[in-house]
Amino acid sequence: MSNHEADLFAKEMADVKPMVTADRVLLKQPLSDEPGLQYRREKAEIEGREERYPLSLVLRKKLSADDWLSFKRDGIQIGVSKNLRTGKYPQEATLNLNRKTPQQARGELMQFVDDCEEMNIRSVLIFFGHGGSGILLKSYLAQWLPELKTVQVFHTALKHHGGSAAIYVLLRKSEQKRMENRERHAARLGKAL
């Protein structure tokens, strides 16, 4: 803005006076003091989370210590499942649920899956342990993992990774990873995207 334009602006605005408002709007105090409001908010948050993660604490089938866990979502290549089962994917993250209650394990599993999605982690190892609480958690995991849309494949781990007390889990690729794969394969084949 030049000096001439600034002078013109000041001249035009010389008779403008700020508005004086004596009336003010009074806002009510926040409703956080209402006893049921906090409860309703927490319940709505939990219901929203349960909608995303429908992991029930009602156990449908209790497994034994020797039962093998295996799951493959439709559309997943057999080779991908085989590579996971044989431990060929490196474990990018580990979750230890040993000696956790089902409620604790459920919360930690949901947080762990969220964190893995956020950090583009695909191959993980979940250790739940041996004994009574381990068998219980194994049963819950067999029920919960297929309900998580991001879980593509899981299988009981090899002996050196925990054997029947742990499972390998392969999570869905993020959109970013999918695009990287497309670009890599297109470049390999000499095609442009």
Residue 9 belongs to a domain: no
% of the chain residues with pLDDT over 70: 86
pLDDT at 25: 64
| DSSP one-letter code for 58 | S
What's the number of domains the chain is made of? 1
Q: Which domain holds residue 86?
A: 20-193
Question: Is there a contact between 55 and 106 (Cβ–Cβ < 8 Å)?
Answer: yes
- Among candidate residues 121, 125, 124, 147, the one with its CA nearest the CA of residue 58: 147
Longest dimension (CA), the chain: 89
Residue with the larger pLDDT of the pair 34 and 104? 104
Residue 5 belongs to a domain: no
CA–CA dist 151, 34 (Å, integer): 40
Would you state the structure tokens that stand for residue 164, as one six-digit string? 């029947």
Residue 170 belongs to a domain: yes
Residue 15 belongs to a domain: no
| Model confidence band, residue 165 (pLDDT cutoffs 50, 70, 90) | very high
Q: Cα(first)–Cα(last) distance of the chain, in Å? A: 47
pLDDT at 109: 96
| DSSP one-letter code for 31 | G
Taking only the tens place, the pLDDT of each residue in 114-141 is 999 889 999 999 999 988 888 999 999 9
Residue 13 belongs to a domain: no
Return phi, psi of residue 55, to 5°: -90, 105
The domain spanning residue 187 has which CATH number?
3.30.1370.110
Residue with the larger pLDDT of the pair 39 and 146? 146
Residue 31 belongs to a domain: yes
Taking only the tens place, the pLDDT of each residue in 70-102 is 999 999 999 999 999 999 999 999 999 999 999
Taking only the tens place, the pLDDT of each residue in 9-61 is 888 888 888 777 766 666 666 555 566 777 777 777 766 655 555 788 888 99
Its pTM stands at 0.66
